[in-house]
Structure 1
Amino acid sequence: MKTKIKIFAILITILGSFNAIAQSEIEEEIKSLSTFKWQWMADKDIDNLEKLFHEKSKFVHMSGSWKKERELEIIKTGSIWYKNAEVHDVAVEIFGDDTAVLWNRITLTAHVRGNDVENEFTVTEFYKMEGEDWKLLDLTFSSVRDTHKIEH
């Protein structure tokens, strides 16, 4: 009986290790995708952003909230030009195998209404796996102090 319990415990440990590795790989994939997203926003790369943003995605900014089409229009026209997002800290939580939440603490340099502005934000990003691709469901900017820390 003790041998069966030991074998079962070993199997549970091995399965847990595989799950941790899979979660870690998803976390890295989401972090990478978020990094690409910031660059695409800076480059006004509407084609890649169109593919990334879920059809029902929402965007919450200091000045309001809107859906995918308006966000893409804002980026394309440059009414907000996300020139640079300096990422200071990132945390990712995975829920099941198809949902991820990422928090970035950033300093955003943007061109808004004719002026370059710099703001500290924690940005929350929700992702959902659809088919073979991660889709951004929500991107919310929260204004924070530069001393704000993301709890890991």
Structure 2
Amino acid sequence: MKKTFFSFLTFFIFSFSAFAQNSVADEIKTLSKNKWQWMADKDVDKLDKLFDEQAMFVHMGGSWGKTREIEIIKSGFIHYKKADIHEVFSPIIIDNTVILLNRITLLAVVGTNEVSNPFMVTEVYVKVNNEWKMGSLSFSKLMGLN
């Protein structure tokens, strides 16, 4: 009887843990998808709420913090017109941190030039005060792919 109870308890704990991780993974994938749309729409109010105050952004032309990224989006210096998402990898969940990789083709206007580039994008989310915040967004250009 004891063995059956512990087997059931172990099964229940692992099942709940797997369900919780799937729930977090789905939540982050949805948040990431929404973020691409907010960037395309230049919705800096939603992005300001999403980006942590200490967030870092790494682009082909440099890296900077939240304030500069919001200014860049708001001014249209970089307009993330459309992110064609080709592949979303399974999120890596480590305690209250989630790492998500996306393989995308980004159509953007940088300055006055419209450009399209294939990227592997690394997004890092951290749960702060029961809310997901973006801690980092990094673009790595993929060579020879579109």
TM-score using structure 2 length? 0.95
Q: What residue number does 2:42 align with? A: 44
Deviations 1:52-99 (A, max 9, x none): 000000000000000000000000011100000011111211112x11
Match for residue 72 of structure 1? Answer: 70
Q: Letter of the aligned partner of 2:78 in structure 1?
A: I
For structure 1, list consecutive stretches of 5 or more residues without a partner in the other structure: none
**CA–CA distance in structure 2, aligned partners of residues 74 and 125 of structure 1:** 18
* Structure 2 equivalent of residue 95 of structure 1: 94
Q: Describe how 1:1-152 pairs up with structure 2 within 5 A.
A: 3-91=1-89, 92-96=91-95, 98-145=96-143
Tell me which stretches of 4 or more aligned residues in structure 1 moved more than 4 Å. Answer: none
Count of aligned positions: 145
By how many angstroms is 1:147 displaced? 5.4
Counterpart amino acid of residue 40 in structure 1? W
* In structure 2, C-alpha distance between the alignment counterparts of 1:28 and 1:114, rounded to whole Å: 36
Comparing 75-84 with 8-17, greater Cα deviation is found at: 8-17
Normalised TM-score (structure 1): 0.91
Q: What are the Cα deviations for residues 24-59 of structure 1, in whole angstroms up to 9, with x where unaligned? A: 000000000001110010000010000000000000
SS at match of 1:50: helix
The 3-state SS of whatever aligns with 2:56 is strand
Percent identity between matched residues is 50
Q: Flag structure 2 segments of 5+ consecutive residues without an equivalent.
A: none
